Structure 1
Amino acid sequence: MPDNISAPPVGELLRLRERPVLVTGASGGIGAGIAVRLAEAGATVIAHANSHPERLQPVLDACRRHGVAAHGVHGDLSDTAIVEDVLDEIDRTAGTLRGVVNNAGLQPLAPLTSMDVAEFDRVFEVNVRAVFLVTQAMSKRAIAGGVPLSIVNIASIEGEVPAPAHSHYAASKAAVIMHTRAAALELGPSGIRVNVVCPGLIDRPGLEQDWPDGVERWHRAAPLGRLGTPEDVADACLFLLSDAARWITAASLRVDGGVTANQPF
């Protein structure tokens, strides 16, 4: 990589003009917010869902309202063959990927002493194995084609601060954080940047009704005094995918309203 890379104009720093970007787990919540925000920045969005691909339609429609191309793909990305099939489909329909947001994940509740081993394994399959497989497959393709690539993984502040009944989830997100650093170390010489975003508690419909005491504790603990939104996470991903982050790799960016300066759980 050349050492004399010039900085783009400020007005272009966060533009992803027609760059194909894959967002996994994009059928709702954080993933949908990321997909639509990237479309607003000009990206060609490839939105992924594991199952129920029809749930991607509202996300694709919202992306296209920003005047960009948007495509849907689906499949279990913890399966090596499916990953290759999905990437082949993207190559045919959208072109060579320039960015990936590994957002798909599971977050079940289970006490450690009664956790089912199959449930533990499935959390690691989706939260860690799929991240590895997509990163590996995309990196091979980017290196072979000489194409710059930015990968953003979605972990959680629970990768550093665990919550009760989340030992499998917290461990999986800690693994994603370390995998990000290791991948950045190995892939940087090939022009591939790998970073991780660690969200805190992100609002969703019904959250306050489902967990009123937890939401109240969060409001007390967070210096910025509110829950996060999908757009808060999306903007962090946009930054890390963009040329504004061109010399940033192996970074772990907390998006948590400052709550980890306190003790939220």
Structure 2
Amino acid sequence: MSDTMNRHADSAAVVTGGAQGLGLAIATQLVDEGCRRVVLADLNAEKVEASAAELRARGITVKAVALDLTDVASCLGLINTAIRELGTVNVLVNAAALGARDTLVDGTLDQFDRMFATNVRAPYFLMQGFVRHRLAEGGGGAILNIVSNCAHCGQSYLASYSASKGALATLTKNVANAYKFDRIRCNAILPGWMDTPGEDITQRKFHGATDGWLERAEAGQPMKQLAKPYQLACLASFMLAPSAGVMTGALVDYDQQIPGSYPE
């Protein structure tokens, strides 16, 4: 049986959305479980460097990269940078995403294109670079895509977001199937409502939330909380570890609301 706290000793990880929230929580969990080589990528250069510095203080190799997910060359370049900095890459976490609002009738072409460029095209080419590298290395490795429970449907004001996450869910299964004989595993977690810095910004920007919104929202949830990044990170770490065995192509719902359920 593997040692849980050392199961990522051989992991060299790239994590997008690594400046804060879920991406940083997953990277931190990997480090807690033995990972000593990490590349954190995020649009916010200042925040991602600060987060990298915190992990670097723990005596590990951490590279911070400012990344615009809408730039395909930058996505492919991130994998090359990681290989150069870490020597190899065998773990990829696509946690970064755009979560803007639009309904079918008020959505614009520009926002639709940005949504798919960020939430689908970027993971596609990040996985392309990763898989090419793993094939050149003889196979093996693990990918985790952070999708969303909205892939099942989503609210009316999440039309293009839900569509993009549905596409990423299908892409996850396609990649898992295509490279299973190369021992490259690809899975996804579909989180529900989460308590993250990005969600606080979203609630205030799009829904007029005021101070105390989180406490009010949590009071109405079945388990009296929103999902926490550090909780989901434990699941993510398992799915990315060799101890996950043959697990691939899995779309794991992570929420207290059950897709397909209805009020009694």
Range into which the TM-score falls when normalised by the shorter chain: 0.7 to 0.9
- Verify: 1:232 aligned to 2:231, yes or no: yes
- Verify: 1:109 aligned to 2:101, yes or no: yes
Per the alignment, residue 38 of structure 2 pairs with 45
| Structure 2 unpaired stretches of 5+ | none
Per the alignment, residue 178 of structure 1 pairs with 170
Provide TM-score, normalisation by structure 2.
0.87
For 1:105 and 1:177, the matched residues in 2 are separated by 14
User: How far 1:226 moved relative to its partner?
Assistant: 1.7
Instruction: Give the fraction of aligned pairs with identical amino acids, expressed as a percent.
Output: 26
For 2:33 and 2:86, the matched residues in 1 are separated by 17
CA distance change for structure 1 residues 218 and 164 in 2, over 3 Å: closer, same or farther? farther
The answer (yes or no) to whether the contact 1:14–1:244 under 8 Å persists in 2 is no
CA distance change for structure 1 residues 263 and 60 in 2, over 3 Å: closer, same or farther? farther
SS in structure 1 of the partner of residue 65 of structure 2? strand
Instruction: Report the more deviating stretch, 198-207 or 211-220.
Output: 211-220
User: How far 1:164 moved relative to its partner?
Assistant: 2.4
| Structure 1 unpaired stretches of 5+ | 1-8
CA distance change for structure 1 residues 216 and 263 in 2, over 3 Å: closer, same or farther? farther
User: How far 1:257 moved relative to its partner?
Assistant: 2.8
Equivalent residue in structure 2 for 1:98, among 77, 90, 103: 90
Aligned residue runs from structure 1 range 113-192, under 5 A: 113-192=105-184
User: How far 1:34 moved relative to its partner?
Assistant: 1.4
Equivalent residue in structure 2 for 1:88, among 57, 72, 80: 80
For 2:25 and 2:50, the matched residues in 1 are separated by 12
User: How far 1:221 moved relative to its partner?
Assistant: 5.1
The answer (yes or no) to whether the contact 1:14–1:242 under 8 Å persists in 2 is no
User: How far 1:187 moved relative to its partner?
Assistant: 0.8
The answer (yes or no) to whether the contact 1:14–1:243 under 8 Å persists in 2 is no
CA distance change for structure 1 residues 195 and 105 in 2, over 3 Å: closer, same or farther? same
The answer (yes or no) to whether the contact 1:159–1:177 under 8 Å persists in 2 is yes
Instruction: Report the more deviating stretch, 184-193 or 207-216.
Output: 207-216
Aligned residue runs from structure 1 range 11-26, under 5 A: 11-12=3-4, 15-26=7-18
For 2:95 and 2:27, the matched residues in 1 are separated by 10
- Verify: 1:242 aligned to 2:241, yes or no: yes
Kindly provide the CA deviation profile for residues 97-123 of structure 1, in whole angstroms up to 9, marking residues without a partner as x. 010001110000122211111001100
The answer (yes or no) to whether the contact 1:236–1:255 under 8 Å persists in 2 is no
The answer (yes or no) to whether the contact 1:100–1:151 under 8 Å persists in 2 is yes
The answer (yes or no) to whether the contact 2:146–2:190 under 8 Å persists in 1 is yes
CA distance change for structure 1 residues 147 and 74 in 2, over 3 Å: closer, same or farther? farther
The answer (yes or no) to whether the contact 2:70–2:114 under 8 Å persists in 1 is no
Kindly provide the CA deviation profile for residues 192-250 of structure 1, in whole angstroms up to 9, marking residues without a partner as x. 0000011111113545982778975775453x332111112211210110122121000
SS in structure 2 of the partner of residue 114 of structure 1? coil
Q: State how many pairs are aligned.
A: 254
User: How far 1:65 moved relative to its partner?
Assistant: 4.0
